[in-house]
Structure 1
Amino acid sequence: MDALLGGIQILLSWQVLVALLIGSIGGVIIGAIPGVGAAVAIAILLPATFSFEPIVGLTMLLGIYGSSMYGGSIPAILLNTPGTPVNALTTYDGYPMTKRGQAHRALSLAYSASFFGGVFAVICLIILAPVLAMIAPHFGSREIFLAALLGIILVILAHRGQIMAAGMMAFLGIFLNTVGLEPAKYTHRFTFGQNWLTGGVDLIVLVLGLFAISQALFLMVEKDEMPKAERVQGNMLGGFVELLGLKRVASVAGSFGVMMGTIPGVGEFTAQFLSYTYAQKTSKTPEAFGDGSPEGLVSSEAANNAVPAAAMIPLLALGIPGEALTAMMLSVFYVHNVIPGPQLFQGSMDFVMALYIAMLLLNIIVLVFLLFSTNLLLRITQIPTRYLGLMILLLSFVGVYSLRNSPVDCAMATGFGVFGLILKRLNLPIVPIILGVVLGGIMEVKLRSAMARVDSPIDFVNRPISAILVSLILIVLVQHVRALRFEHRQRRLKKQMEGDKPPKDEGVAPEGF
């Protein structure tokens, strides 16, 4: 209770409240513009947040992170164009409802389900906070190293169909983290005699290049798109009443969001898939899914909005980001010398509770804003994409140059931007690079620290938590190999069945020949 009251006291600062308001409303606006997304906005704002107090900068970024998916549902439902990649599943049932003249109903359901998922996740976190405070101190260097290793394995395996590419990108990120001065003996690594590489590859330069500049270049080379949608008319509060009849679907979806959010590298897409599949299998009208099912819309939106709050668990408790956005937030901690991990839960529990309460407040702010501004946001979606690209490019270079007033940083960011554009064109994953840089740095530091107290590899599993983590790593790898073998057998069986079929009408002339 003392931590909760301390967290409320921290949030009563006007700077924190203004930052939360700007982040929440700004995140909705950014999410409503197709082709931008929270990653681009957070990347651009990162350099500015370094001059704020940690709680001020983090609440602003949290506001963008947690609210962008609210805004992303608007073009997904009205235009069949997801505002953020996470809202892709929303188009399955949201847009068919719009075509039937039920746009206000679809938006109302999306808003109410998103609000439920976000609040549900925050309440779960507040309840779990004392448990995390007890468990976190038991994580030493070995455990955090193994947790980071598990995280990077899960990030790679989460890219089904692109595992080899994701692995290469993750290891590229780990390599980029090694460039510069080695942290223990300050020897030069991979600098090749170039002084400008001595400082290494700055995470913010990399993030702005791969996410913001690459997206700006992508938008600038594409054709201008100005989608149009009809004004939405109707009661936006009706979705809350309808949600009462779908509370089982919403609760299960929120639970999936919380569970998947706590696992590094899994995130919104897996939570959505599991909740959508569950809702369809347990529905009385499964045939309606994909054709305007309210259950499908609720399961998708409740799950994806529960993930941001849950994703803060590994970040705050262990200092391990689960995806790119929390990896960016980690840099704000480091700049202000606030190290997330077991010590944060032990000595700054009121700070943790302040972040949780901020996430609760952002859901309320966003909901109130959306109930009165949906039609206004429709005008924002009509901004030509090339203007957006030019604006993002200018803001990105301002952000990069403001870090150290260095033209070299601008050149490096441009190079990473072009590289990111190539990856987008080839449909290759970018997120593993960022997580490789962040998790690779954590793994190196913690492994060095652990090796001072390790005499043999057995010492890595001689404690309960480390043994559990090693077991999880082995289980994940074995299950993945089994899944690959099963898919290989299925493909071989399918080919055999196709090979056994006799050719159709072989040697018979068609009628009328």
Structure 2
Amino acid sequence: MDLLLSSFEIIARWDVIAALLIGAIGGVVVGGLPGVGAAVAIAIVLPATFALEPIVGITLLLGIYGSSMFGGAIPAILVNTPGTPVNALTTYDGYPMTKRGEARRALSLAYSASFFGAVFSIVALILLAPVLAKVAPMFGAREIFLAAFLGILLVVITHRGQVLAAAMLACLGIFLQTIGIESTAYTQRYTFGQGWLQSGVDLIVVVLGLFAVSQALILFMEKDKDIKLPHVEKVGFFTQMKDLWIYRRIAAVGSAFGVFCGMIPGVGEFMSQFMSYSYAQRTSKTPEMFGKGNPEGIVASEAANNSVPAAAMIPLLALGIPGEELTAMMLAVFYVHNVVPGPQLFSGSMDFIIALYLCLLILNVIVVAFLYFATDTLMKVMLIPNRFLGMMILTFSLIGVYSLRNSLTDVAIASGFGVFGFILKRLDYPTSPIILGIVLGKLMEDRFRTAMARVREPFDFIDRPIAFVLFCMIVVALLIHGYTMFKGAKAKKTAKKEPIHE
């Protein structure tokens, strides 16, 4: 009871409450803006969080991360344009329901499934993170190295059809974190005699360039869309949950997929929603209606999407290993304040952890209440011209870069990465491997150096149980990916040999 009261004292402050409100409402608004997304918003806000306390900064970022998917469902359902990329599957059944005059019910199901998935994953976080934290003391330097390497490997191989590009971009991220003065021997690496490279390439500068500046450039290139907004009636929370009860099995299974995929680095929302959507279609009594306005499709997609954010915090809090670019940004806030995720965080700052759990729960309640009153207003956000939106993003992102170290060099570097990110997005290449390469690359380098002090032979690296299990997981992941590639190549070869019948 004392621990719970102490946690309430942490969040019962005006700055934490303000972060809850700004994160929840701001995330919904950002989600409702097609073409922006949580990554861009978090990249812009990130520099400001360094001046805040950890609980305030993390709450703000988590609010934007989680609630953006609530908002992203609105344009996906009403105008067939997903607010965030992970709301793409929601358009399959949401927009056909709108055309049938069922926009109210489609939004109701999206909101309630999102809320259910979010609460489901928070419960999973509460139950699983302490268990993983108890196992974490068994992780030495070599285990952390192997876990981080497994994370980068999974990030790469989950980009099917772009594995080589993702691997090269991850290696680029690993290389970028080596630039500057090396921390052990204080020697210069890859500075080429340039003084401005001695301090290295800052993660936040790269994040703002790759996500915010590049997105601003894309918005400058796009034409404004002619959007006609339908009228939507208000739907009460209990009415929404009552409607969801019909599809409770799909919501539960979809949330479970989201938790599972959220815990695995590099998997995240896309894999979870496709698994959930496929399961719902296979087990549905009307599978032929999927893609034509089946409510089960909305529930499957939204429950899976919104159960990922809290689940992604499990490896972050327990091991300090981010699962994707957004949790990597949150990890930066921890490090700035010398708060090291891991077992010591659970043993020495349990009140902070419980306060974080409470903030996550309160955030989702705020989002649902806000959506009840403000859906009609949020719909008008979709009418903001792309070029105006792009200019606002570019302005705030460059101000954020300059505020880090009052350096025009950082602004130039961010602009360069913005152009690079713009090219990657135009070519449909992923940008997240670069960010994870920077974060996990630093972790891998430090742990590898520590581990090699006790390694005499190659097999000494995996002579402990957890290290051996992680090594086996790496080998299995490579074998499965190799088999998948071989099977795909064989199928293409067979298809080419088959005669074409006219």
User: Which residue in 2 is equivalent to 1:372?
Assistant: 373
- Which one is further off, 336-345 or 102-111? 336-345
User: Which residue in 2 is equivalent to 1:132?
Assistant: 132
Contact 2:129 2:314 in 1 (8 A): no
Structure 2: which 5+ residue stretches go unaligned? Answer: none
For residues 116 and 91 of structure 2, what CA distance do their matches in structure 1 show? 19
User: Which residue in 1 is equivalent to 2:205?
Assistant: 205
Contact 1:137 1:346 in 2 (8 A): no
User: Shift in Å at residue 10 of structure 1?
Assistant: 1.7
- Which one is further off, 43-52 or 451-460? 451-460
Q: 1:219-272 CA distances to partner (integer Å, 9 max, x unpaired)?
A: 112222352311212535433212111111100001011111000000000100
Contact 1:228 1:382 in 2 (8 A): no
1:178 counterpart SS class: coil
Residues 117 and 437 (structure 1 numbering): CA distance in 2 closer, same or farther, change over 3 Å?
same
Q: How many residues end up aligned between the 2 structures?
A: 501
User: Which residue in 1 is equivalent to 2:162?
Assistant: 162
1:16 counterpart SS class: helix
Q: RMSD value over aligned CA atoms?
A: 1.3
User: Shift in Å at residue 112 of structure 1?
Assistant: 0.2
For residues 224 and 230 of structure 2, what CA distance do their matches in structure 1 show? 20
User: Shift in Å at residue 136 of structure 1?
Assistant: 1.8
User: Which residue in 2 is equivalent to 1:31?
Assistant: 31
The correspondence of residues 436-475 of structure 1 with structure 2, limited to 5 A, is: 436-475=437-476
User: Which residue in 2 is equivalent to 1:222?
Assistant: 222
User: Which residue in 2 is equivalent to 1:55?
Assistant: 55
For residues 134 and 174 of structure 2, what CA distance do their matches in structure 1 show? 31
Contact 1:136 1:345 in 2 (8 A): no
Q: 1:385-419 CA distances to partner (integer Å, 9 max, x unpaired)?
A: 10000001110111011011111111111111111
Contact 2:130 2:318 in 1 (8 A): no
Contact 2:133 2:319 in 1 (8 A): no
Contact 2:234 2:372 in 1 (8 A): no
Letter of the 2:416 counterpart: G
For residues 130 and 391 of structure 1, what CA distance do their matches in structure 2 show? 41
TM-score (norm. length: structure 1): 0.95
User: Which residue in 2 is equivalent to 1:96?
Assistant: 96
User: Which residue in 2 is equivalent to 1:511?
Assistant: none
Contact 1:226 1:381 in 2 (8 A): no
2:34 counterpart SS class: coil
User: Which residue in 1 is equivalent to 2:431?
Assistant: 430
For residues 236 and 76 of structure 1, what CA distance do their matches in structure 2 show? 21
Q: 1:105-157 CA distances to partner (integer Å, 9 max, x unpaired)?
A: 00000000000000011012112243223212211211111110000000001
For residues 286 and 77 of structure 1, what CA distance do their matches in structure 2 show? 20
Q: 1:30-74 CA distances to partner (integer Å, 9 max, x unpaired)?
A: 000001111111111111111111111110011101100000000
Instruction: Please tell me whether residue 76 in structure 1 is matched to residue 114 in structure 2.
Output: no
User: Which residue in 1 is equivalent to 2:120?
Assistant: 120
The structure with more radius of gyration: 1
Contact 1:107 1:236 in 2 (8 A): no
User: Which residue in 2 is equivalent to 1:485?
Assistant: 486
User: Shift in Å at residue 485 of structure 1?
Assistant: 1.0
Letter of the 2:51 counterpart: S
Residues 420 and 129 (structure 1 numbering): CA distance in 2 closer, same or farther, change over 3 Å?
closer
Contact 2:424 2:431 in 1 (8 A): yes
Q: 1:163-217 CA distances to partner (integer Å, 9 max, x unpaired)?
A: 1111111101111111111111110000000000000000111111111011111
User: Which residue in 2 is equivalent to 1:384?
Assistant: 385
User: Shift in Å at residue 349 of structure 1?
Assistant: 2.1
User: Shift in Å at residue 5 of structure 1?
Assistant: 4.4
User: Which residue in 1 is equivalent to 2:405?
Assistant: 404
Letter of the 2:373 counterpart: F
User: Which residue in 2 is equivalent to 1:348?
Assistant: 349
User: Shift in Å at residue 345 of structure 1?
Assistant: 2.2
The correspondence of residues 317-336 of structure 1 with structure 2, limited to 5 A, is: 317-336=318-337
Contact 1:262 1:311 in 2 (8 A): yes
Letter of the 2:292 counterpart: D
User: Which residue in 1 is equivalent to 2:146?
Assistant: 146
For residues 234 and 371 of structure 1, what CA distance do their matches in structure 2 show? 6
User: Which residue in 2 is equivalent to 1:273?
Assistant: 274
Letter of the 2:473 counterpart: L
For residues 133 and 353 of structure 1, what CA distance do their matches in structure 2 show? 14
Identity %: 63
Q: Moved runs in structure 1, 4+ residues, more than 4 A?
A: 1-5
User: Which residue in 2 is equivalent to 1:262?
Assistant: 263
